[in-house]
Amino acid sequence: MQLILSPSLIIGVIVAYFLVLILISYLTGKSDSNSSFFIGDKSSPWYVVAFGMIGASLSGVTFISVPGWVATSEFSYMQMVLGYLLGYLVIATVLMPMYYRMNLTSIYSYLKERFGNSSYKTGASFFLLSRVIGASFRLYLVANVLQFAIFDNFGIPFEITVVATILLIWVYTFRSGIKTIIWTDTLQTLFMLIAVGMSVYLISVDMNLSFSALISTIEESDYSQIFFWEGKQHFVSQFLAGAFMAIVMTGLDQDMMQKNLSCKSLGDAQKNMFWFSIVLVFVNLLFLSLGALLYMYAANNGITFNKADDLFAAVALSGNLGVGVGVLFILGLIAAAYSSADSALTSLTTSFCIDILGFDDNSGAKEVQQRKLVHLGFSALLVVVIVIFKEINNDSVIASLFKVAGYTYGPLLGMYAFGLFTKLNVKDNLVPLVAVLSPVIAYVLQLFIPFGFELLIVNGALTFVGLLIIIRN
């Protein structure tokens, strides 16, 4: 893949981008209290949260991978996206009212109230594990692009690239956490959508397509089928998987819910969730449409690439569409990755402080200093895990590790479902055992039954059954 952007130009773009983020951090970070860091003093405008959550729910993986998926799965991903709507409805009408009623800072405090301390620590630990792996993998992809585009030209080791990448996040989040991220995520979502939207526009101009011709070209392509009624892509399977994925990866995830809990009221948080879910449908459709255009454009212009994930980069950095598309690609990639990674670092810090160390959001100066050390510690941990991914240097192993993170949501799904839909009490000290055994059994079942995304549901069901076995008389 030939690089048309000079390293100095890319560095200039990145420096300018992060100077804007740091300026936002300065303007929003007047207070470094734990209340500001954890829940933004409950003063976040719902519409800003809603827009910023679009970028946070996507990532560098989405930015790179979703357009590449259309060659093998066409637009079938939209079946899951439609399922998300059902999941977000459950979050807005069932989970959010409970979180606000209990006045939670960490959503896993619910497990302590419902089952006991062991269940509480188990839920928080599963979240911490999954977020460390997921955030590290996303940042690994971005660091790889930066290494290829910039730092290889200067002989700078990958490890230094990773440290610089994490340091940039730390700089604009260490003081006010979620209060800053609400606004930086909004900016990053805007950059990401501009990058995708302008790429679609410039490709359509190059292909001499009007808006109506663009729509018909995508509809008539080999990539545009949405609904499938057989095989792994069956609509019912994909729709239900999407609904449950939304519930666990948003409603049971401290990272995503922390933003919602920073809204002024339950009503504002619900408006945020409703509008966010609707806009997200169109954003995903835009990504898939871009994928169809990229494949057609690459075929027409003889642009080659090694794998589907390289498609967007191959076209954007080919030079055919000009330097502007390359700059937009770099900006969009960084925005997509950092909008999920910065909130992940903040939520990891929040969950560890609240759930493991026992802080509250009104704690004093000593706890503020401890929070900053935890924040720095998780930054260092992300560096270590990213470097380990690089040392493994095996895409299939890395994909497997990323999939492991998905297993961690199954126990959370089962525990919350059991708590919400039964009035039974369990032997709290045995909950960690159930939570560990459930994904292990699910993994063994996966060896014999080729589950797709619905493995999450199976994992949650196993946890639910396990809790039934350990009910307290």
Higher pLDDT, 397 or 157: 157
Distance CA 156, CA 34 (A): 37
Reported as a pLDDT band with limits 50, 70 and 90, residue 315 is confident
Q: What is the pLDDT of residue 120?
A: 92
Higher pLDDT, 359 or 93: 93
Q: What is the DSSP string of 206-274?
A: HTT--HHHHHHHHHTSTT------SGGG-HHHHHHHHHHHHIIIIIT-HHHHHHHHTBSSHHHHHHHHH
Q: What is the pLDDT of residue 426?
A: 92
Distance CA 282, CA 261 (A): 25
Q: What is the DSSP string of 45-63?
A: -HHHHHHHHHHHHS-HHHH
Looking at every residue in the chain, the average pLDDT score rounds to: 82
37 contact partners, CB below 8 Å, separation of at least 6: 175, 176, 177, 178, 179, 346, 349, 350, 371
Structural domains of the chain ordered from first start: 7-29+43-407 (1.20.1730.10), 409-473 (no CATH)
Residue 364 reports pLDDT greater than 90: no
Q: What is the pLDDT of residue 396?
A: 46
Residue 338 reports pLDDT greater than 60: yes
Longest dimension (CA), the chain: 72
Distance CA 384, CA 390 (A): 10
Q: Write the pLDDT tens digit of every residue in 265-308.
A: 899 889 888 988 998 899 889 988 988 898 888 888 888 877 77
Q: Write the pLDDT tens digit of every residue in 74-90.
A: 888 889 899 999 999 99
Closest to 341 (Cα-Cα) out of 57, 68, 71: 57
65 contact partners, CB below 8 Å, separation of at least 6: 308, 309
How many CB atoms sit inside 10 A of residue 271's CB? Answer: 17
Tell me the average pLDDT across 389-415.
69
Q: What is the pLDDT of residue 116?
A: 93
Q: What is the pLDDT of residue 94?
A: 92
Tell me the average pLDDT across 441-451.
85
Q: What is the DSSP string of 126-167?
A: HHHHHHHHHHHHHHHHHHHHHHHHTGGGGT--HHHHHHHHHH
Residue 19 reports pLDDT greater than 80: yes
Task: Report pTM.
Answer: 0.81
Closest to 435 (Cα-Cα) out of 212, 163, 120, 179: 120
DSSP element (H, E) containing 340:
helix 323-351
Residue 403 reports pLDDT greater than 50: yes
Reported as a pLDDT band with limits 50, 70 and 90, residue 425 is very high
Residue 370 reports pLDDT greater than 70: yes
Q: What is the pLDDT of residue 362?
A: 60
Closest to 107 (Cα-Cα) out of 259, 268, 275: 259
Q: Which of 42-51, 61-70, 349-358, 422-431 has the highest mean pLDDT?
A: 422-431
Q: What is the pLDDT of residue 398?
A: 47
Distance CA 68, CA 312 (A): 7
Amino acid (1-letter code) at residue 450: P
Reported as a pLDDT band with limits 50, 70 and 90, residue 329 is confident
Q: What is the pLDDT of residue 395?
A: 53
Residue 48 reports pLDDT greater than 50: yes
Distance CA 41, CA 445 (A): 45
Q: What is the pLDDT of residue 434?
A: 95
Q: Tokens at residue 286, please? A: 């835009």
Distance CA 18, CA 4 (A): 22
Distance CA 319, CA 297 (A): 13
Higher pLDDT, 17 or 86: 86
Reported as a pLDDT band with limits 50, 70 and 90, residue 394 is low
Residue 99 reports pLDDT greater than 80: yes
Distance CA 29, CA 173 (A): 9
Tell me the average pLDDT across 102-108.
86
